[in-house]
Chains A and B, each alone.
Chain A
Amino acid sequence: MFLAENDLQAIWLTLRLAGVVTFILLLLGTPLAWWLATASSRLKGPVGAVVALPLVLPPSVLGFYMLLAMGPRGPVGMITKAAGIGLLPFTFWGLVVASVFYSLPFMVQPLQNAFEAIGKRPVQVAASLGASKLDAFFTVALPLARPGLLTASILTFAHTVGEFGVVLMIGGNIPGVTRVASVQIYDHVEALEYNEAYHMAAVLLIFSFLALLALYVWQPNIRNVIQTER
């Protein structure tokens, strides 16, 4: 095998992080995207802007604020300490929380686009046929948005795999706990281990290419989604 054990450990940790983050964001991002797509509230604009912030903020800025928030004097830190969980920075779950915020627009925006494309009418039809709001959401809106769900999940997963700045700020570089693939490559380069860096970089490159290839082959519309987000 051309990858060392610590490289495999970093890759496994990265996949676990991306999987957990994607799962959490599916649960949190879907209702948020639905609200953004259908609500007529004045809060819609500000909430949409907050969701999009990670697209334009340098990861170090986001990481810095999250480090402060999760620290012993930060609001999140005080809550986690009071709850007996301890402090989140430099733990796997700290990475998860940071990544959830950092990858939020990659889940919410494709889903919001999908819900907006479906429009209100199918849900209204479902309501006139006796479906409650929740019923209509789960039996009509969500199945019709399936392509958007797939797009959002793949983008979120791939984006989390490619994170560097935020995970370095929040997680540091603890093998098996917070040292993800991108940080491992950085370590190899720092230690002038170019051969190992080549291998890891190639793995990430191939993974990212395959993820996007899957989207482009199965869903040609993804190009519009990505262009909208950039």
Chain B
Amino acid sequence: MNLSLFVQKEYGSFHLASDITVAGDRIGIFGVSGSGKSTLVGMLAGLVKPDQGEITLDGETLFSTAQGIDLPPSRRRIAMVFQQHELFAHLDVKHNLLYGYKRCAREHRRIDFNRLADVLQIAPLLDRSINNLSGGEKQRVALGRAILSNPRLLLMDEPLSALDDTLRFQIIPYLKSVSEQFAIPYLFISHSLMEMRLMAEQVLVVSGGKVSEPIPSDQLARARMGESPYGYINLLKLSSPERVGELYSYPWGQENLLISDGCDEHEALFELSSKDIILFKKHPEAISARNLLKCRVVGTFVSGKRIGVELDNGGERLIAEVVKAAAQELEIVAGSELYAAIKASAFLRLGVSKMHLIAC
């Protein structure tokens, strides 16, 4: 997907200006509430009219003040998934799913209804009223309805915000697998850095009405480490656990990680804050932390008043953070060796199922 957004829009004292071109199939739009990101995607979908500018998608002009073009939303082939499911209450699940499909020109219909129902695991729900669906099921049906309209671009505007944490991490794999399996590029809008990490390769940051040039989502996470109270969140997909007393042991790099919050499932996703990793220059004699990993420093980066330290252990990577004084004292430079101590309770497990679909 190639998208150019050269647009401006004013709401009273708020001014939104975008002057970006982005290419890729998994694009994130990141920003706090009120930053203008929903207005930006509204303009792309044709729901909000820009004051001036031009929008082109894969070479086709969707909007242009100079050329007098303003394609209506129904002709842009850009489907949306919203924060709330927005299913039509007067239609059952099947007719909700088919709403966009029936209105799609035959030459654009390439997604098979039954295959989509299988991927989203909604086949048993087809005859139900939407009132008889759980929150997660409703969001899956809403996603299916958008995909079945055979769009050339899928806009997901905070689709996980209304869900609790467990549901959120259950839905993410569906969002990713559906767009991958049916080859539909997407724009994922969220104020959650974690969701950006999981969903987007390139991220546009919207702040105070300005849209940044695209940057990789991991680079964004590193840049924001210094100002975030949670630091940099390491995401670890671990598998093949073994019980060791009260803990779970997961193979990782050349070592095993001992984790309190493990589970018997074959695969699980964990988060680990860079703040929860303590670095030692030499092997400490005895510590309470259950994990002591010998790592090589790959590199360092500055984020605010903090130094991020990228560590390698058998090809696996972790980001730890230290203050500048500690970095000097430990003489941290690329290639040096350090010991990283991590408590078993510092690892937090995300979601509980379908983790095999997440490719971090």
Contacts and interface: CB of A to CB of B under 8 A. Distances in A.
A136 B82 CA distance: 18
A99 to B, nearest CB: 31
A124 B79 contact: no
A121 B46 CA distance: 13
A37 to B, nearest CB: 17
A125 B86 CA distance: 7
Interface in A146-167: 146
B14 interface: no
**Contact residues of A: prevailing secondary structure:** helix
B47 interface: yes
B104 interface: yes
7 contacts: A121-B86, A128-B76, A128-B80, A128-B149, A129-B74, A129-B103, A139-B99
A124 B74 contact: no
A122 interface: yes
Q: Which of B72, B77, B103, B145 has the most CB of A within 10 A?
A: B103
B40 interface: no
Interface in B70-107: 72-80, 82, 84, 86, 88-90, 99-100, 103-104
Interface of A: 121-122, 124-133, 135-136, 139-140, 143-144, 146
Interface string B45-68: 111000000000000000000000
A83 B76 CA distance: 47
B100 A130 contact: yes
B146 interface: yes
Contacts of B72: 127, 132-133
A144 B79 CA distance: 21
Q: Which of B73, B76, B78, B89 has the most CB of A within 10 A?
A: B73
A128 B99 contact: no
Contacts of B75: 130
B88 A127 contact: no
Nearest to A139: B99
A76 B51 CA distance: 44
A130 B104 contact: yes
B105 to A, nearest CB: 9
Given A124-B73, A135-B103, A144-B88, 7 more contacts: A127-B74, A129-B100, A130-B77, A133-B72, A135-B74, A144-B89, A146-B90
A129 B146 contact: yes
Nearest to B45: A128
B193 to A, nearest CB: 27
B103 to A, nearest CB: 3
Contacts of A130: 74-75, 77, 100, 103-104, 149
B90 A144 contact: yes
Interface string B290-321: 00000000000000000000000000000000
Given A130-B149, A131-B74, A140-B88, A124 B103 contact: no
A143 B89 CA distance: 9
Nearest to A142: B90
Nearest to B148: A129
B88 A122 contact: yes
Given A124-B47, A124-B73, A135-B103, A129 B145 contact: yes
Nearest to B76: A128
A143 B146 contact: no
A100 to B, nearest CB: 29
Contact of A121 (B74, B82, B90, B103): B82
Q: Which of A121, A127, A144 has the most CB of B within 10 A?
A: A127
Q: Which of A122, A127, A130 has the most CB of B within 10 A?
A: A130
Contacts of B79: 128-129
Contacts of A122: 86, 88
B40 to A, nearest CB: 15
Interface string B137-151: 000000001100100
B90 A127 contact: no
A29 B293 CA distance: 74
Contact of A129 (B46, B84, B149, B155): B149
Contacts of A125: 80, 82, 86, 88
A132 B347 CA distance: 50
